[in-house]
């Protein structure tokens, strides 16, 4: 039996030795399995659907190649994400642009590239998108993002479907927004969108949201406009801790299929195409982060700190909203976990990665493996304290290669300039 933790057939200690730490590790095989699971659930439920991967969770050129290979579309929320996708050769006809405060430059770039859909996030944005589409002599397909007033049971920072939210148009203003789109010369309303939050484990909030949105599709049809697509966003919960539940995608698909069929029949509307935007569900469990243990500091009768060579700069989630992760000592995987420690990062803040976790007795040079870090770690990483962002390694079967290079000191000073008086 190996003394080291094996992740998708790869010795994590050897990966740390070969590529250095801190190190993000992503498994393409796990990405494939997650996407196949979603497709299988939706196919078995008889749904007409499309998967739009939420690029904000993790995006790079190689990830775009993987998504296109697996026939998955892409949701981008910035000019930078759009540029990344287009640079990787991603089909613009399979891209949707989101965002609560899109710049005119981003909107112009999206329409000019010929992306599939722009999701309108406010009534004032309707005129802006129409003006730019008109200037480009194009017609833009748009969805209206509505806030359905559904309170998902998750952290308040990642609840996004409430009426009091920076995201979306209050659902009671949906008809007004639809009428404004219809009166716009260069816009075509093809769908509605809502996103009720992240890390949701029950299908019930999605069913409630779908019911409200189908009712809105009926109301808009009464205006003479037929909506063909309904995007219910993402937010499928994953298990950051071993005992956490995992979102039941099969139950979700069955419940939505029945809801769509029953309510569409009652309302006399066509069953819309379902669009979902999973990000974390696909990439979260596909990733781990490897750190080297440095200082081990014990404060007698109070706490033992296990310091690693990363921290809030490469995983800001614990600092942002008290996110939790499970971890192990990768080179002592078979040792008894009987030492209560707090895993601390190297940033000049409290920088607690994991508070009070039982691990085998650790020493400097050990490799700490933190699980389920594929989502919102690399994508939210920073250069705080002028730390360089870690490399990202992609695993595929027995192969391991760099998909994002480790930053250098030259990378983080490249945009520094000297004003003329210095």
Cα–Cα distance measured from residue 183 to residue 111, given in angstroms and rounded to the nearest whole number: 19
Cα–Cα distance measured from residue 422 to residue 420, given in angstroms and rounded to the nearest whole number: 6
For residue 357, what are its two tokens? 């976790």
What count of other Cβ atoms lies within 10 Å of the Cβ of residue 30?
19
CB 269 within 8 A of CB 214: yes
Find out whether the peptide bond into 372 is cis, omega within 30 degrees of 0: no
Helix (H) or strand (E) holding 133: helix 123-135
Residue tagged 């139950």 (tokens): 251
Residue 62 backbone phi and psi in degrees, to 5: -65, -40
- What b/e sequence results for 249-275 when a residue is b if at least 16 CB atoms lie within 10 Å of its CB, and e otherwise? bbebbbbbbebbeebbeeeebebbbbb
DSSP string covering 285-296, please? TTEEEEEEEEEE
Burial (CB < 10 A; 0-12, 13-18, 19+), residue 113, is middle
Selecting among 64, 73, 348, 369, the annotated active-site residue is 348
For residue 100, what are its two tokens? 């609560």
Active site residue 194: no
Please report which residue ranges of 173-279 form alpha helices under DSSP H: 174-182, 204-221, 249-267
CB 351 within 8 A of CB 345: yes
For residue 203, what are its two tokens? 């299908």
CA angle 238/244/249 to nearest 5° reads: 40
Active site residues: 348
């Amino acid at each position: 039996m190996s003394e080291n933790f094996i992740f998708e057939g790869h010795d994590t200690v050897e990966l740390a030795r070969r590529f250095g730490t801190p190190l993000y590790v992503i498994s393409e095989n796990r990405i494939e399995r997650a996407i196949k699971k979603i497709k299988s659930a939706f196919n078995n439920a008889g749904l007409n659907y499309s998967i739009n991967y939420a690029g904000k969770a993790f995006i790079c050129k190689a990830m775009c190649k993987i998504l296109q290979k697996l026939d998955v579309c892409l949701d981008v929320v910035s000019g930078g994400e759009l540029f990344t996708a287009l640079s990787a050769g991603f089909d613009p006809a399979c891209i949707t642009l989101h965002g609560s405060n899109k710049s005119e430059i981003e909107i112009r770039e999206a329409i000019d590239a010929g992306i599939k859909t722009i999701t309108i996030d406010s009534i004032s944005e309707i005129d802006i998108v129409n003006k730019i589409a008109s200037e480009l002599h194009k017609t833009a397909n748009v969805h209206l993002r509505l806030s359905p007033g559904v309170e998902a049971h998750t952290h308040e920072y990642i609840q996004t479907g409430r009426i009091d939210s920076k995201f979306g148009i209050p659902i009671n203003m949906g008809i007004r927004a639809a009428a404004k789109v219809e009166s716009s010369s260069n816009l075509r309303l093809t769908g509605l969108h809502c996103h009720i939050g992240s890390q949701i484990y029950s299908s019930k909030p999605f069913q409630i949201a779908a019911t409200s949105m189908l009712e809105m599709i009926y109301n808009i049809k009464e205006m003479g406009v037929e909506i063909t697509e309904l995007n219910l966003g993402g937010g499928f919960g994953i298990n950051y801790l071993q005992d956490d539940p995992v979102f039941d995608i099969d139950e979700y698909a069955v419940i939505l299929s029945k809801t769509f069929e029953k309510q569409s029949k009652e309302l006399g509307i066509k069953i819309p195409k379902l669009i979902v935007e999973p990000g974390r569900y696909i990439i979260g469990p596909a990733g781990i982060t490897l750190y080297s243990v440095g200082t081990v500091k014990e404060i007698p009768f109070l706490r033992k700190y296990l310091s690693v060579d990363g921290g809030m700069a490469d995983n800001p989630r614990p600092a942002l909203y008290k996110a939790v992760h499970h971890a192990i000592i990768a080179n002592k995987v078979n040792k008894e976990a009987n030492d209560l420690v707090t895993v601390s990062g190297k940033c000049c803040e409290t920088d607690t990665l994991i508070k009070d976790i039982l691990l085998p007795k650790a020493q400097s040079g050990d490799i700490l493996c933190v699980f389920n870090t594929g989502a919102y770690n690399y994508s939210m990483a920073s250069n705080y304290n002028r730390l360089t962002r870690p490399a990202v390694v992609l695993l595929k079967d027995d192969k391991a290669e760099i998909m994002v290079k480790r930053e250098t000191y030259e990378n983080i000073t490249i945009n520094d300039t000297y004003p003329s008086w210095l």
